């Protein structure tokens, strides 16, 4: 396929749960010489230890691992994509590492092998809750510490201590400990930490782990805007711990139908259900709610869409959707949707694999009508590799297009219809749909 090699499409951040990458959590650990002299670090140089031939870096379970060749000491991360589940340690030859001048060249910092091993037994690490949860009475889980007789965990909201709990070692299993307080938390962001008592002495607290208690309300994703499908597929965000979902369709003040679906309709981050009832050409609104702990939670806000009669040419495809292998679905725009680029607005073109790993680059194309995919006439394509943006991954992508970028493509149409195409690695599994433009 002929393609222009201009960078027209713009990739910008969007907080979409199925695609967005989570930010790096904070972490902590120790760096010590082989004679077990230890020193905490947070972007700090390791202390020089007389006679030490090597230094040993130990990172707690769940922590990112790496060396920063631009600094004099162990750095708390080098890659957002390299986190350990069971702790990691590495031995690094001295090479002037500990007692070198901070302005000296960085050689020698990454010498020596790195090996996986259990987390430092002198440290206790918080495990969960973390990230976004819906449970207002979460269970706190942390790593067991050898010789500990008690543990104390502390929950904070901002700078305010919400509660502190002390528990005995009886709450521990072979490698982890857990405890569930009865206090009900509000919907907010919290941080917690834990420490252990060994030989009747309280050890320092661990680093904080952050979590957010979110309202267990799904977000409607599609349908939205103008569509032509009279039996649309309803999509919404997945809620942790939900066992059922119920979505309701309303026209004006009249409920058209309500459908209940089990958690089996959900993938990694979204859920989908397609009723067989055909809709009339009209404007509708719909909402969705989740059942958590055997109780129905509040409905989401309404999402509005309009079913219009198909426009001639809307069903045309440049490439038929391919089944099997590394397949994906086009998320937005919907087929034949009129995207609004007026007044400086921009529109997201998004696709997603529903959790299936695909090689990249992705190829995204926009074409006029008619278009010749063999010669590249009236079509523009651009490649996007995973990692080129936080929003281009092996599981999909989001690309924004505004009127200036769209018009610069120089595409023409004889019926107001344009085509959007996404192709996976090496031209595999193309998928396309039509759209219209308002500007």
Class of residue 338 by CB neighbours under 10 A (exposed 0-12, middle 13-18, buried 19+): middle
- Burial category of 187 from C-beta neighbours within 10 Å (exposed 0-12, middle 13-18, buried 19 and up): exposed
Instruction: Give dist(CA 223, CA 226) in Å, integer.
Output: 8
d(CA 105, CA 25): 29
Query: What pLDDT was estimated at residue 56?
Result: 43
DSSP calls for 420-434: EEEEEGGGEEEEEEE
pLDDT at 277: 94
pLDDT tens, 256-266?
999 999 999 99
What pTM was estimated for this model as a whole? Answer: 0.45
- Domains parsed from the chain with CATH numbers: 39-120 (no CATH), 135-213 (2.60.40.2140), 220-307 (2.60.40.10), 329-438 (2.60.40.10)
- pLDDT tens digits along 394-413: 999 999 999 999 999 999 99
Per 3-state DSSP, the chain is made up of helix, strand and coil in percentages (nearest 5) of 5, 45, 50
Cβ atoms 369, 413 nearer than 8 A: yes
Closest Cα to residue 194, out of 180, 203, 178, 206? Answer: 206
Q: What is the pLDDT of residue 93?
A: 35
Calpha distance 428→101 (Å, rounded)? 53
Q: Please name the residue that has the structure tokens 């529109």.
A: 347
pLDDT tens, N- to C-terminus, the chain (439 residues): 333 333 556 554 332 223 222 222 333 333 333 333 333 333 334 444 444 444 344 444 444 333 333 333 333 322 222 333 333 333 333 333 333 344 444 433 333 333 333 334 457 999 999 988 888 899 999 999 989 999 999 999 999 999 999 999 999 999 999 999 999 999 899 999 999 999 999 999 999 999 999 888 999 999 998 888 899 999 999 998 899 999 999 999 999 999 999 999 999 889 999 999 999 999 999 999 999 989 999 999 999 999 988 778 888 888 776 666 688 889 889 888 899 999 999 999 999 988 889 999 999 999 999 988 888 899 999 999 998 887 899 999 999 999 999 999 999 999 999 999 999 888 888 889 999 999 8
Closest CA to 232 of 316, 289, 307, 317: 307
Determine the distance from the C-alpha atom of residue 42 to the mean position of all C-alpha atoms in its chain, rounded to a whole number.
26
Residue with tokens 């939205």: 224
Give residue 414's pLDDT: 92
Length of the chain: 439
**Token reading at 392:** 């281009």
pLDDT exceeding 70 applies to what percent of the chain? Answer: 71
The C-alpha atoms of residue 202 and residue 194 are separated, in whole angstroms, by 11
8-47 as b/e, with b when 16 or more CB fall inside 10 Å?
ebebeeeebebbeeeeebebbbbbbbeeeebeebeeebbb
Q: What is the rounded distance in angstroms from the CA atom of residue 432 to the CA atom of residue 409?
A: 18
398 contact partners, CB below 8 Å, separation of at least 6? 11, 14, 16, 19, 348, 349, 350, 391, 392
pLDDT of residue 321: 66
Give the model's pLDDT for residue 354: 85
Residue appearing with tokens 């569930």? 180
Among the listed residues 297, 189, 180, 301, the one whose alpha carbon sits nearest the alpha carbon of residue 241:
297
């Amino acid at each position: 396929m002929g393609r222009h090699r201009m960078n027209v499409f713009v990739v910008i951040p969007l907080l979409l749960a199925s695609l967005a990458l989570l930010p790096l959590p904070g972490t902590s650990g120790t760096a010590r010489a082989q004679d077990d002299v230890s020193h905490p670090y947070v972007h700090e140089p390791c202390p020089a230890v007389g006679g030490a031939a090597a230094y040993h870096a130990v990172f707690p379970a769940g922590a990112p691992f790496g060396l920063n060749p631009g600094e004099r000491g162990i750095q708390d991360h080098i890659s957002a994509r390299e986190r350990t589940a069971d702790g990691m340690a590495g031995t690094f030859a001295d090479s002037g590492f500990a007692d070198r001048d901070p302005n000296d060249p960085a050689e020698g910092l990454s010498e020596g092998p790195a090996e996986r091993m259990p987390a430092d037994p002198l440290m206790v690490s918080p495990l969960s809750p973390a990230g976004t949860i819906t449970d207002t009475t979460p269970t706190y889980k942390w790593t067991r510490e050898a010789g500990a007789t008690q543990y104390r965990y502390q929950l904070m909201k901002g700078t305010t201590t919400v509660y502190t709990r002390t528990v005995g070692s009886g709450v521990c299993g072979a490698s982890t400990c857990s405890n569930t307080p009865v206090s009900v938390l509000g919907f907010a962001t919290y941080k917690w930490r834990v420490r252990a008592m060994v030989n009747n002495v309280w050890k320092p607290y661990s680093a904080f782990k952050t979590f957010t208690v979110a309202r267990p309300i799904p977000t409607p994703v599609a349908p939205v805007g103008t569509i032509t499908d009279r039996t649309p597929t309803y999509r919404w965000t997945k809620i942790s711990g939900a066992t059922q979902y119920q979505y309701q369709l309303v026209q004006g003040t009249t409920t058209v139908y309500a459908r209940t679906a089990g958690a089996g309709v959900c993938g990694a981050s979204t859920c989908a259900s397609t009723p067989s009832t055909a809709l009339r050409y009209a404007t509708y609104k719909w909402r969705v709610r989740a059942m958590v702990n055997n109780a129905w939670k509040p409905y989401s806000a309404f999402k509005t869409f309009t079913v219009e009669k198909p426009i001639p040419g809307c069903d045309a495809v440049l490439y038929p959707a391919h089944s099997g292998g590394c397949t994906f679905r086009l998320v937005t725009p919907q087929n034949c949707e009129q995207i609004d680029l007026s007044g400086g607005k921009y529109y997201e073109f998004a696709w997603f694999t529903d959790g299936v790993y695909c090689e990249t680059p992705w190829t995204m194309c926009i074409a006029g009508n008619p278009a010749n995919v063999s010669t590249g006439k009236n079509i523009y394509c651009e490649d996007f590799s995973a990692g080129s943006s936080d929003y281009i991954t092996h599981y999909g992508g989001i690309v924004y297009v505004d009127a200036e970028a769209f018009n610069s493509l120089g595409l023409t149409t004889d019926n107001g219809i344009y085509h959007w195409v996404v192709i996976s690695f090496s031209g595999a599994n193309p998928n396309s749909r039509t759209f219209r433009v308002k500007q």
